[in-house]
Amino acid sequence: MSTRQRLVLTLLLGAQFMLAVDFSILNVALPDIGHALGLSLGGLQWIATAFALPAAGFTLLFGRVADLFGRRRMFMAGLLLLMIGSLAGGLSNGQAMLLTGRVLQGLATALATPAALSLLTTSFPEGPLRRRALGLNGALMAAGFAAGALFGGVLTQGLSWRWTFLVNAPVAAVLLVAAPVLLAADRERSRVRLDVPGAITVTGGLLSLVYGVTQAGHVGWSDPVALIAIGAGVLLLALFGLVETRAAEPLASMRVLTRRTVGWGNLGGFTVFAMETAMVFLLTIYLQNVLGYSALVTGLVFGVPGVTAAIAGVVGPRLIGRIGAHTSLVLGLAVQAISNLALLALGTDRGTGLTLVLVTSAIGFFGHVYGIVAFTVTATSGLPDDEQGLATGLTTMSQQIAFTLGIPVIGAVAAARTGSSTAASDLLSGMRLAIGVDVALTVLVVVLIAFFLLRAPRRTPVS
């Protein structure tokens, strides 16, 4: 890489790491926030929902808008919005201001994440350099999610819960100053019209679907409001597909949406994120509620597999260069499934349980990041630069929806067996059932991708 490419990569990876940290940094601080602002358990759940709704609902729209109106503009707008939202949350004196700040952070993620990823894919030519950049991106993303919990615990315990918001502001300001210096100016494009019906249906559909699943995770899957929202989301997304086939200037080109690499790649990416996010949730419950470890120790435990995640970010691109992105996606998912399968042996002995968690998580995180890199390469390769915003918007959307669906769905499976019991034996019984479902779903996707993607003719090379 040239010196300028290294600086551009540092800028974009710094932004992606910060956005990943922002996703998880509040989790440990929630009890303190509730006590300070008088939020009930339901109110605390809305802190997560206020972020997830805009982050997942607007990402595809903003990814395509970046293609049409400028990626650097969208990236900088996202950083500015993140800084404002972080200040609003950190300085809030009431529930409304805090939730407003969290909504702005979610919108900032929807703006900046696909723009940063498309800037990365267009800044490096398809091949070894792009794979290396995407490998580092995947490693830092996984590290950011793990580091968020640790940072949240340290900041909350050492300073105040407000710093879980405020810490973003100075970092975003530095990146905002560096962006116009390092990133090439957006090219002037001929006048284009935004596909308004497509934008309304896809955004409304995603918002409704994410809200319905989140509501079901909070109050139960028989809740009529949740079921109506999920049904409306599915209907609007189906209508979006119909609108796009007839639009003169579609928001999402059906030529891109129907590519095998895009469709199967995003299914693989969704599974990678959803199933491993759910597994981290289950292991967090296991370490604290079954083995009795503190939140800080639990955060440190997940820091150890972060090392293998970093190794995967370096080694993964080289493996992809040798065996291809499609095969690598299958292998990454398979490694993740096998490591999770071993967790069926979890028990109540602290030493054995902790060792098993550390070993399987180290292996699983390697497969997780390897799968992330392979998924991103698969779903964005072979597309022209003017469609990279759409492609990265789709990958970001898969990621955000996976985060939203993974925990409620797998958590509901565990709860179906556990019920309201807090006994260690009952918790373990529910967790084993949930782990089994997690592994079964991952294996199913591995088989489907292996059959339909590996056997299909590859339209474009991966290197």
Task: List the one residue out of 400, 156, 419, 130 whose CA is nearest residue 270.
Answer: 400
Q: What is the mean pLDDT of residues 167-178?
A: 89
The domain defined by 1-191 carries CATH number 1.20.1250.20 = yes
- What percentage of the chain exceeds 90 in pLDDT? 10
- Contact status, residue 19 vs residue 105, Cβ threshold 8 Å: no
pLDDT at position 462, please? Answer: 44
170 token code pair = 């100075």
Domain spans of the chain, in order of start: 1-191, 195-248, 253-457
Q: Best-predicted range by mean pLDDT among 13-17, 297-301, 303-307, 326-330?
A: 326-330
What sign does the CA torsion over 258, 259, 263, 269 have? Answer: negative
- Average pLDDT over the chain, rounded to whole? 81
| Residue positions counted in the chain | 463
Q: What pLDDT is recorded for position 335? A: 93
Report the distance separating Cα 358 and Cα 301, nearest Å: 7
- Look at residue 446 in the predicted model and tell me its pLDDT: 92
What pLDDT, on a 0 to 100 scale, did the predictor assign at position 330? 92
Give 117-164 pLDDT, tens digit per residue. Answer: 888 877 777 778 877 787 777 777 777 776 776 777 777 777 888 888
User: Residue 459: its pLDDT value, please?
Assistant: 47
User: pLDDT of 30-70, one tens digit each?
Assistant: 667 777 777 665 566 677 778 877 887 788 788 778 777 78
Q: Is the pLDDT of residue 204 over 90?
A: no
Between 360 and 18, name the one with better pLDDT. Answer: 360
pLDDT the model gives residue 180: 87
CA distances from residue 57 to 103, 104, 117, 252, 290 in whole angstroms, order as listed: 12, 13, 18, 15, 36
Dist CA 339 CA 366 (whole Å): 10
406-424 mean pLDDT: 74
DSSP conformation class of 58? S
Whether 99 has a pLDDT exceeding 60, the answer reads yes
pLDDT at 191 over 70: no
**Segment 331-336 mean pLDDT:** 92
Q: What integer is the mean pLDDT of 265-291?
A: 84
Q: What is the CATH number of domain 253-457?
A: 1.20.1250.20
Q: For residues 230-254, give the mean pLDDT.
A: 81
Q: CA 386, CA 242: separation in Å to the nearest integer?
A: 23
Residue 460 banded pLDDT, cuts 50, 70, 90: very low
**Top-confidence residue, 387 or 98:** 98
**Can you list the positions of beta strands (E) in 134-201?**
none
Q: Which residue has the higher pLDDT, 419 or 6?
A: 6
Closest by CA position to 407, among listed 17, 31, 49, 18: 49
Least-confidence region, from 154-158, 171-175, 344-348, 450-454: 154-158
- Per-residue DSSP letter, 456: S
pLDDT of residue 427: 82
Asked whether residue 463 carries a pLDDT value surpassing 90, the answer given is: no
Please check the confidence at residue 212 and state whether its pLDDT lies above 70: yes
Same fold, 1-191 and 253-457: yes
